[in-house]
């Protein structure tokens, strides 16, 4: 399996980091910059979708991506980032609840102590992303409807995602290799890297704190096979002009 982790485009929360007058949105939408990033990503992946040489080692995707499936979290910014690429490539597009950002959907008001919120209802996704395959149980009550996600739950969720990917799309004898894109979030990526590489949470050498930085709409690639894992690249943004590279 080739796995591509794509972070969502710039959200309204991203754009207002450091703004003391801004009140964070529990489920932020894409800014105009984020929408442009998503369109540029889609154009790049459409142009680079065909595998032009299936005999050479395509470790930098110099001979194409050949994506076969795209999964998204049900946070608005992720689905809105993935949708242009899905429309450009016409490949299966599936919601995966466990790809959500750390914490889930919760209030940002100080006196409400991170109270869990519903999240967008089914009708929102059916109207805005009709290509998206939604879970059967998902209805108008929203997809979250849980308390704030605890620290203990977060790594377990990343472990589930990795196990689920291998179960769904791991290499099978006699079947073509599958090329999977996950459109998700920066905090979840750190947890996912800890699952992939069995790393301790945010502990670097010499007592330093560690983090894997992802820019908005960046692409990271991992090749996962039965007995080995290759980290091909992290946080590529060469499909974006310099003025649209954001955090």
The pTM score is 0.97
Q: What is the pLDDT of residue 109?
A: 82
68 or 227, greater pLDDT: 68
Measured in whole angstroms, the distance separating CA 108 from the mean position of its chain's CA atoms is: 22
pLDDT per residue as tens digits for the range 181-217: 999 999 999 999 999 999 999 999 999 999 999 999 9
Find the domain containing 98 and state its range: 2-244
- Backbone Cα Rg of the chain: 18
Instruction: Detail the DSSP E strand segments found in the chain.
Output: 2-7, 69-72, 93-95, 179-184, 219-224, 229-236
112, pLDDT greater than 80: no
The total number of structural domains in the chain stands at: 1
Between 110 and 30, the more confident residue is 30
Give the mean model confidence (pLDDT) for residues 106-124: 91
Is residue 110 very low, low, confident or very high in pLDDT (cuts 50, 70, 90)?
A: confident
Give CA separation, 221 vs 56, 59, 176, in Å.
17, 9, 18
At 72, list the tokens.
């998204």
**CATH code of the domain covering residue 155:** 3.40.50.1240
Task: Write the CA distances from 105 to 57, 58, 96, 145, 196, integer angstroms.
Answer: 41, 38, 15, 8, 25
What gap in Å lies between CA 105 and CA 116, rounded to an integer? Answer: 6
């Amino acid at each position: 399996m080739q796995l591509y982790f794509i972070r969502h485009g710039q959200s309204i929360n991203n754009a207002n980091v450091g703004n003391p007058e801004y009140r964070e949105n529990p489920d932020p939408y894409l800014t105009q910059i984020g929408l442009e990033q998503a369109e540029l990503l889609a154009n790049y992946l459409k142009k680079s979708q065909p595998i032009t040489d299936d005999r050479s080692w395509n470790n930098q995707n110099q001979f194409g991506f050949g994506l076969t499936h795209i999964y998204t979290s049900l946070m608005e910014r992720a689905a809105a980032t993935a949708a242009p690429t899905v429309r450009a490539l016409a490949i299966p597009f599936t919601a995966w609840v466990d790809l959500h950002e750390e914490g889930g959907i919760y209030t940002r008001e100080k006196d409400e102590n991170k109270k869990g919120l519903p999240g967008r209802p089914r009708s929102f996704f059916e109207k805005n992303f009709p290509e998206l395959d939604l879970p059967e149980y998902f209805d108008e009550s929203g997809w979250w409807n849980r308390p704030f996600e605890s620290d203990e739950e977060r790594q377990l969720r990343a472990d589930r995602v990795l196990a689920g990917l291998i179960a769904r799309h791991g290499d099978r004898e006699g079947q073509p290799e599958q090329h999977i894109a996950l459109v998700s979030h920066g905090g979840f990526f750190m947890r996912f890297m800890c699952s992939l590489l069995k790393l301790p949470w945010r502990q670097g050498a010499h007592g330093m704190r560690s983090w894997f930085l992802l820019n908005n709409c960046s692409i990271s690639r991992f090749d996962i096979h039965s007995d080995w894992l290759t980290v091909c690249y992290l946080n590529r943004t060469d499909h974006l002009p310099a003025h649209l590279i954001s955090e």
